[in-house]
Amino acid sequence: MIGTPATKEDPGRAAAPPAARRRARAWGFGRKYGGAVALVLVIVVLWQAAVHLFSIPDYLLPAPTEIVSALGDWSVLGVATWVTLQEVIYGFAIALVAGVGIAVVLHASALLRRAIYPLLIGSQSVPIIVIGPILVVVLGYNILPKLIIVALICFFPIVVNTLDGLGSVSEDYILMMRTLDASRLAIFRRVEFPACLPMMFTGIRIAVTYAAIGAVVGEWAGSTNGLGYVMLEAEPNLQIARIFAVIVILTGISVVLFSLVSIIQRMVIPWAKTANSRRDST
Amino acid sequence: MAREMKGQAGLRRVPPTDGAADNAIELADVRHYFGDLLVLDGIDLSIPARSRVSFVGPSGCGKSTLLLMIAGLLKQQGGTITVGQAAEQSGRLRQCALMPQQDLLLPWRTALDNACLALENRGVSRSAARRQAQPLFEHFGLASFEQSYPSQLSGGMRQRVGFLRTLMADKAVFLLDEPFGALDAISRAAMQEWLLSAMSDVPKTIVLVTHDVEEALLLSGTLVVFSSRPARIVDVIDVKLPARENRLEAVSDPEFVALKHRALGAIR
């Protein structure tokens, strides 16, 4: 390495032809997710084998092939997925706006923080499943109670992580900004808020995986459509394969949303290496 | 010896440079405690405008604390501190820029945008601030690194961006708190030479805090030597050394060595 001029990027990598880069990317993808895909395949094969080998009846545990064919019933599941997806996305959007807003207000005022923070923590021990039916009685069989339940489940990790992120800035940065004539607002805008983004995204990634559960809980409390409603309908009819199909769709929604948030995170804060990208690069 | 000087002059005067008469910084009987622990024990000092002064003393003696107080970031518990005409904290803060030991560059801003911070804080638009900061990059040996993020820069370059950011604040008084303390010995030596040339065209009062006597002698016209805690001024050394071609010649000059011994003796 001695005598090699220091460059910002490895010139060899930058000069690689597109085809080679594509291959390298595919290989990187395989190395990153190959393990998870293989594990799922192994479980599915074992599951299928077990169902056939021990002749387990459909209404106890349907075979993966049964679940796949239940997924094909898209006339029911497609509409239900769309209904639930809307609840998830709108409810999550409310949680995001409210969560970040509350965190900023609590960060700005020590008085409000001392008054409200304990209540927020307490609110998390209230069982949402109990609140659901009450909300349906008050607000009716529409999308509103679902949005509120999704938001209630999702906002907490966003508030806690954002608040911690806002408070994580070292005092030295604040002093430095003050000698550069920064007002309280300038310190917030140029230091505290950008500094909180990595933690805020951690909270968002946790929250987004809860959103689908929230929507289903909301639908169980009272609904006329959606994936939770489909599950409720399928159960007394012993359409267990359909229930599993719904679980597959809900898992898919969570994985896709989580990946979307991760992609947005990389675009918004390219300067912050997440714990995972650090682990992968070593 | 310290007592005698105090008796004669009242205030310790750092000799003015270029006949500048007005004092940039006046300290009178400044005292400070951390809890019950006395850290600063009656500091009296006048620093003329546009002089280059170093505070040297053992690590942890309270010289950095004194710097924070001059900058108006910390309130002294006794005595008065005046910067220019301002004795209250907010007024001092308006006239002082502080460069800390860690570069404290914002990792989400490019080198150029880090240098723009002070201007943006004053309401200058980002594009106008960039136009003002851009020309200075070449002058400070940072040309073509404007768009680099701090994580892509070496420790020495980050400190240069930090210096530039402090300079863009355009304050009358420049306070440097062990600016090279976090660097290795080799880049530290290079940065000292760089700072010497960078300071030569900055018409500001510069106070450098360091525990490195050699650095202080190389970079400043006056050494204010502090004792260990509680800090008192034990010596004020006027550095009049002939200009040297390079650092090695300068530090091996017999006069340089003599002053270094004097300062080290005073600390002990």
pTM passes above 0.90: no
Q: How confident is the model at residue A279 (pLDDT cuts 50, 70, 90)?
A: low
Q: Which of A172, A178, A180, A274 to mutate to test the interface with B (most CBs of B within 10 A)?
A: A180
Between strands B23-34 and B37-48, the pairing is: antiparallel
Q: What is the pLDDT of residue A25?
A: 74
Q: How far is B95 from chain A (nearest CA, A)?
A: 9
Q: What is the pLDDT of residue B120?
A: 92
Q: What is the pLDDT of residue A3?
A: 43
Q: Domain residues for B110?
A: 2-267
Average pLDDT, consecutive stretches of 10 residues, N- to C-terminus, chain B (268 residues): 39 53 78 84 86 85 86 86 85 88 90 92 90 86 87 87 88 87 79 80 84 84 85 83 74 81 80
Q: What is the pLDDT of residue A177?
A: 92
**Chain A residues within an 8 Å CB radius of B65:** none
Q: Which of B67, B93, B95, B108 to mutate to test the interface with A (most CBs of A within 10 A)?
A: B108
Q: Does B65 touch chain A (CB under 8 A)?
A: no
Angle at B134 between CA B132 and CA B137, to 5 degrees: 125
Q: What is the pLDDT of residue A5?
A: 43
Q: What is the pLDDT of residue A58?
A: 82
Q: What is the pLDDT of residue B13?
A: 58
Q: Is A269 exposed, middle or buried (CB count within 10 Å of its CB: 0-12, 13-18, 19+)?
A: middle
**For residue B153, what are the contacts with CB-CB under 8 A and spacing of at least 6?**
B111, B145, B161
Q: How far is B252 from chain A (nearest CA, A)?
A: 31
Q: Does B108 touch chain A (CB under 8 A)?
A: yes
Task: Please tell me which residue of chain A has the smallest CA distance to B101.
Answer: A172
d(C-alpha B127, C-alpha B179), whole Å? 29
pLDDT at A80 over 70: yes
CATH number at residue B152: 3.40.50.300
Q: Does A181 touch chain B (CB under 8 A)?
A: yes
At B192-238, the pLDDT tens digits run: 888 887 777 777 888 999 888 888 888 888 888 888 888 888 888 88
Q: What is the mean pLDDT of residues A111-140?
A: 88
**Yes or no, beta carbons of A181 and B148 under 8 Å apart:** no
CA distances from A5 to A13, A208, B154, B163, B186 (A): 16, 45, 13, 25, 18
Say if CB B264 and CB B223 are below 8 A apart. Answer: no
Q: What is the pLDDT of residue A76?
A: 87
Q: What is the pLDDT of residue A15?
A: 52
**Contact pairs from chain A to chain B, CB under 8 Å:** 59
Q: Does A175 touch chain B (CB under 8 A)?
A: yes
At A248-260, the pLDDT tens digits run: 999 999 999 999 9
CA distances from B253 to B225, B246, B248, B256 (A): 21, 11, 9, 5
Q: Does A179 touch chain B (CB under 8 A)?
A: yes
Averaged confidence pLDDT in chain A: 86
**Yes or no, beta carbons of A173 and B104 under 8 Å apart:** yes
**Yes or no, beta carbons of B169 and A194 under 8 Å apart:** no
At A160-203, the pLDDT tens digits run: 999 999 999 998 899 999 999 899 999 999 999 999 999 999 99
Q: What is the pLDDT of residue A1?
A: 38
CATH of domain A58-281: 1.10.3720.10
Q: Which of A170, A179, A183 to mutate to test the interface with B (most CBs of B within 10 A)?
A: A179
**Chain B residues within an 8 Å CB radius of A177:** 117, 121
How many structural domains does chain B have? 1
d(C-alpha A207, C-alpha B238), whole Å? 63
**Chain A residues within an 8 Å CB radius of B97:** 179-180
